[in-house]
Amino acid sequence: MSVFSTPEFKVGALVLIVTGLIATMSLKVSENPSYLGASKGTWFLLDDASGLIKKSNVKMAGINVGVIEDITLQNGEARVDVVLKADVPVTRSARVEIRPNGILGDKHVEIIAGDPRDPPLRSGEQILVVDDRASVDRLIGEVSKITKSLSTVAENVKSATEGDADKPLGRIISNIEEMTGDLAELTRERKGQVGDIIQSLNNITRTVDDLVNDPGRDGFKAAWKDALHSLRRIETSLKNVEEITDKVNRGEGTIGKLINDETTVEELNSAIQNVNNLLDMAGKMQTSFDFHSDYMTNTSVTKSTLAIAIQPGLDRYYEIGIVDDPSGVVESTQVTTTTAGGQTEITEDKRFKNKVKFNALFAKNFYNFSLKGGVIESSGGVGFDYYFLKRRFRASLEAFDFSDLHMRATLRYSVFRGVYLSVGADDFTAKDRSSSAFVGGGIFLTNDDLRLLLTRMPL
């Protein structure tokens, strides 16, 4: 048997090839945290960069499109360098908005794409228009405008009260003076009628006096006594509340210790911070679902795979999946029989149909290159993926089951978002008939796609 056809030589050659690819791609990768595809950098200046954090997300329309690479001081202003995906549609008329994330003071960078008719923003160019919506100085400026308006109103009131009839408020006061004069003239002309009105008011007050002084059980005095009794109860309750608040201020009781003990407050703040970090990590975690089927031309069967990938960061992901292989697996057994003329060896093939296999992989991303390893179709294996042409194409090579080396090459083309076609060769290093070409397709969905589908579903 030739040395070049042994499994050990094939495994060694594969390891050397993968190592060379990793070294080549590592030289092309910059130190900044880029996305899994090509990226571009830009920067802008701020008067105040408080609340912004390095490595935090940069968003467009609420979607993560990049990260803050660095925050430095430049000529007395804060220079913020960001890294964006290469396919983010940013033009030279783009602008930046600094928006608050909540009431705790943290902020994030929001990119507004700009007029699509303008030329695109090239990598390294500055975004000139910056709108700091989260600035406290802006709030103070708005309050200053309000106080200025109030000052103008006060001056108008002063001018009106001093007899300035050229202003609207002065004319209103003049009209009131004329109205009071008309009322005085009206009362002089109808003194009799005014006397009747006063007599009626006198009768009403006498009736009210009788009602208030009614000594009966349903009278006003009894109701007033009941109201005073209720007020005494309220006063007693307020005293009890005051005693409780005094104990809390002195640090007595559980609530008092919780509020006044600095150790307890620090532990509570630490627990809240941990919860916020956990929720922030869960919000950044990406989950994707991949289902595809491939028609094997040699065996005329269809192999289906369902995989779930969890990506906690930009540079790595975990993938688990199941594979339904109708062709199953084949095990060869040699049976020796003894006859009168000597021994006879017979090779017996045992085929197991509908074999369910499992995948469990860890992958590391380098620019457009991903290296993965773990369990492939229930056997140990390694592989790599390479993305090109704006990530529309993906070339993959996988090797597993090193006792009987199994290699598979795949080329995948994304037709449109979430749908792709695939073609390749399975077990192409085998010398028997187990090697086969295949064609197929599949669906690839992320958690953003699932949220969009759920919002479109009728209730």
CATH of the domain at 319: 2.40.160
Same domain (yes/no): 18, 85: no
pLDDT in tens, 87-104: 888 898 899 988 887 656
Residue 59 and residue 107 in one domain:
yes
Does 47 share its domain with 20?
A: no
Q: What is the pLDDT of residues 18-46, one digit of tens each?
A: 888 876 665 444 444 444 457 889 999 98
What pLDDT band is residue 83 in, cutting at 50, 70 and 90? very high
**pLDDT: which is higher, 261 or 308:** 308
Residue 188 lies in a domain: no
- The answer to whether residue 241 is domain-embedded is no
Which of 134, 169, 196 is the last residue in one of the domains? 134
Average pLDDT, the chain: 79
In this structure, the answer to whether residues 416 and 341 fall within a common structural domain is yes
Same domain for 333 and 293: yes
pLDDT for 301-345, tens place per residue? 888 999 999 888 778 889 999 998 877 655 555 566 666 566 666
Q: Is the pLDDT of residue 398 over 90?
A: yes
102, 118, 134 - which closes a domain: 134
- Name which residue leads in pLDDT, 310 or 435: 310
In a domain, 247, yes or no: no
Cβ(385)–Cβ(378) under 8 Å? no
Q: Are 42 and 109 in contact (CB under 8 A)?
A: no
Residue 447 φ/ψ, nearest 5 degrees: -65, -30
- The rounded Cα 98 to chain-centroid distance in angstroms is 16
Last-in-domain residue among 134, 162, 184: 134
Q: Residue 22 has what pLDDT? A: 78
In a domain, 68, yes or no: yes
The domain in which residue 58 lies consists of: 39-134
366 with 395, same domain: the answer is yes
How many helices and strands in the chain, by DSSP H and E? 8, 19
Q: Is pLDDT larger for residue 407 or for residue 430?
A: 407
Phi and psi at residue 323, to the nearest 5°: -125, 125
Q: Which residues contact 362 (CB under 8 A, 6 or more apart)?
A: 316, 318, 319, 372, 373, 374
Structural domains counted in the chain: 2
pTM over 0.75: no
Give the three-state DSSP class for 184: helix
